[in-house]
Structure 1
Amino acid sequence: MHYAPIRAITQDEIDTFDRDGVVCLRQFFDAKTIGLLRDMAEENTRNPSPMAVDASREGTGRFFGDTFVWAHHPPLKEFVWHSPAADMASAVLQSEKINVIFDQFLIKDPGTSTPTLWHHDQTYWPVAGDQVATMWIALDPVTNATGAVEYIKGSHKWGQRFKAVSFKDKDLYKEDLPEVPDIDANRDQYEFAQYEMEPGDCTLHHGLTVHGAPGNSSLTQKRRAYIIRWAGADATYDPRPNLQPMLRDPGIQPGDPLDCDLFPVVRGG
């Protein structure tokens, strides 16, 4: 499939990411591309990989997730390597070299009561560095009712790493880090960013930006997102106990650049 760049990332968008830890990039993916990603989401749901999980807690609905999906679906590998997504990450992270850590589908079915708990991403992964970000591509209309993500502006610059939070088992992660503060009980202390999005919009947020989302209270609309975790030139391998499982051992040493078959270089290098 041929992917055409929509436009260049602006300096204002780069500055917004640096300041707030998140930026919304509107309509960088056309309807044909979104159709492909939706088809892949449905195919992946029907035929999940061994890494698929249902993160639903007590309540209604299903919160489906699957990771390293590019390794199982060739059209997604083509997208990661040849769509504008890696160039967008390169521009926002200000790094000519870009590795993909992994990609992922996250799908909240209609009526899914499970929220996305407040967390930041990077403490789940064996990755150190500042040039780390998550791209969250909307495949459906996203509103507060369907589960629009809230981001705490500037939280990537707090200088604090928080213990990873399991959506299923609160005792799963053991790293000796403080727990995420009780955001909802102290909302007046923070400044939030939340974006209603149309299919083809995406956000990029820093690996240490604290964020969460409500459940999907719509009874008719899915909230499907295709997510890519990107790393820039300063990222290194940082294995620690009790992390989110990766597809396999990357075969590199702690402190090494991420460059390997598991975390391949997509741009530069």
Structure 2
Amino acid sequence: MTARPDRPVSPADRAAFDRDGVVCLRKVLTDTEITHLRDAVDRQLAGLGQTTTGYDFEDLARQIWHPARSMDTGAAERFDMQMMKDMILDDPEARPLRETDAFDAAGVFFYDAAAWKSDGGVRKVAFDSRLPEIAAELLDARYVNFWEDTTFVKGPHTRQKTAFHQDLAYFQISGTQCVVVWIALDPVTHDNGRIQYVRGSHRWGETYAPNVFVSQTPFRSSPERRCPDIESAPDAYDIVAFDVMPGDVIIHHVMTLHGSGGNRSDRWRRAMSLRYCGDQVRYFDRPGAIPQVGVAHDLRDGDRLLSADYPIVWPKPWPDLRLADVYECLGPGASSSET
């Protein structure tokens, strides 16, 4: 499916998104925009073990399944991983989610978030690419707020899968007018961990508790029900996946269930996801949601997302305005590594 050049989303793409809860759009981002994101991800990877937000979930999974080991996350402090380990080991349904691979390599499943707070290149893509308009079109939104970015990298021969999950309960929002844009920064196929989506699951009317990605174990702090164990019976679900190239994007509804396999190839799988909320979304300090990085707002439950932490990125006051440049000048202490 390809977005037409004269409008951000074709009628067929919109119909697929409404029906399936996910759509793949080809050649949406430019080479320069992909380079911005690759540079940001490479900087994040270089800081693994030294930053407060970067984690290697492959290494953490190995620590989790060795009960006698205490958790070591380096400088990372966003999550209480010892608490999560105890939670998983106390879960009778928990089990390792690992691919069979002929190589017994350590691998790396890297996770980080909120690069946009400090990286001008990420802001240029999040604010000034075609993505905000596409999000507005798919959501039928009068305006769109940018919520956050997250980085996911699976190195060659990384056996760790990503447990199926639903994004809504990870976010401090109420309402479902929200999309997640998954951007491949390397060619992605079945062999190196493409994302799998349960078609139509955004229409099930269910909200599922967050899990820790390396296990289906739900967060204890969430009041929502456990996500179905899709990994144990994938044929029982209508699952779709897309091979993608850099510049392609996969956009899914915030209620759509999804997960991925490990990376059994010799190639890297770098990716970044960007999240956008429509005008109907309200702030909600949701029990079990992941604490955000570096937010300074004082929003209360029910408030619109009117905060510098959630910039309005569509519509623009005039077509050629570069919102990333405006944020650089007016934002709350943001600095840029891309000029």
TM-score under structure 2 length normalisation: 0.74
Shift of 1:171: 6.2
- 2:301 aligned residue (254, 263, 267): 254
How far apart are the structure 2 equivalents of 1:91 and 1:22?
14
Q: CA deviation at 1:12?
A: 1.0
Matched, 1:37 2:37: yes
Matched, 1:267 2:314: yes
2:99 aligned with 1:53: no
Q: Kindly provide the amino acid, as one letter, of the partner of residue 161 in structure 2.
A: P
Tell me the distance in 2 between the aligned counterparts of 1:168 and 1:182: 13
Compare 88-97 and 179-188 and name the one that shifted more: 179-188
Query: How well do the aligned residues superpose, as a CA RMSD in angstroms?
Result: 1.9
Which of 184, 208, 225 is the equivalent residue of 1:162? 208
Q: What aligned pairs does 1:72-221 form with structure 2 within 5 A after superposition?
A: 72-167=118-213, 170=217, 172-219=219-266, 221=267
Moved more, 153-162 or 167-176: 167-176
State the distance in 1 between where 2:213 and 2:238 align.
Answer: 24
Q: Are the counterparts in 2 of residues 140 and 225 from structure 1 also a CA contact under 8 Å? A: yes
One-letter identity of the residue aligned with 2:306: D
What SS does structure 2 have at the residue aligned with 1:145?
A: helix
Aligned residues: 264
Which shows bigger deviation, 44-53 or 69-78?
44-53
Alignment correspondent of 2:117? 71
**1:47 deviation in Å?**
3.4
CA change 1:187–1:47 in 2 (3 A) is closer
With 18-27 and 58-67 compared, the bigger mean Cα shift is at: 58-67
1:226 aligned counterpart, secondary structure: strand
Distance of 2:248 and 2:315 partners within structure 1:
25
Distance 1:258 1:11 in 2: 29
Aligned-pair distance for 1:31? Answer: 2.2
Structure 2 unpaired stretches of 5+: 63-97, 99-105, 317-339
Identify the residue that residue 21 of structure 1 maps to in structure 2: 21
Indicate the larger mover: 100-109 or 73-82: 73-82
Contact residue 40 and residue 115 of structure 2 kept, 8 A: no
Give 1:241 deviation, angstroms.
Answer: 2.9
Cα distance in structure 2, aligned partners of 1:246 and 1:150: 25
- Return 5+ residue gaps in structure 1 as ranges: none
2: CA distance between counterparts of 1:30 and 1:265? 22
Answer whether contact 2:184 2:249 (CA < 8 A) is retained.
yes
The alpha-carbon distance between structure 1 residues 15 and 139, as it changes in their structure 2 partners (threshold 3 A), is: same
Which amino acid letter does the alignment assign opposite residue 298 of structure 2?
Answer: G
- Whether 1:241 and 2:292 are equivalent positions in the alignment is no
| Alignment CA distance shift 1:136-1:6 (3 Å) | farther
Question: What is the Cα deviation at residue 179 of structure 1?
Answer: 0.8
Output the amino acid matched with 1:29.
Answer: L
CA positional deviation for 1:35:
2.2
Distance 1:119 1:171, change over 3 A: closer
| 95-104 vs 40-49, which moves further | 40-49
Aligned-partner residue type, residue 42 of structure 1: D
Structure 1 ranges of 4+ moved more than 3 A: 168-173
Q: From the superposition, tell whether residues 165 and 171 of structure 1 become closer, same or farther in structure 2 (CA, over 3 Å).
A: closer
Q: Counting strand residues as a fraction of each chain, which structure ranks higher?
A: 1
2:271 maps to 225
Q: What is the identity percentage for the equivalent residue pairs of Structure 1 and Structure 2? A: 30
Cα distance change on mapping 1:189 and 1:167 into 2, 3 Å: closer
CA distance in 1, matches of 2:277, 2:124: 18
Aligned partner of residue 96 in structure 1, secondary structure: coil
SS at match of 1:14: helix
Compute the TM-score of the two structures, normalised by the length of structure 1: 0.92
**Aligned letter for 2:110?**
F
Compare CA radii of gyration and give the structure with the larger one. Answer: 2
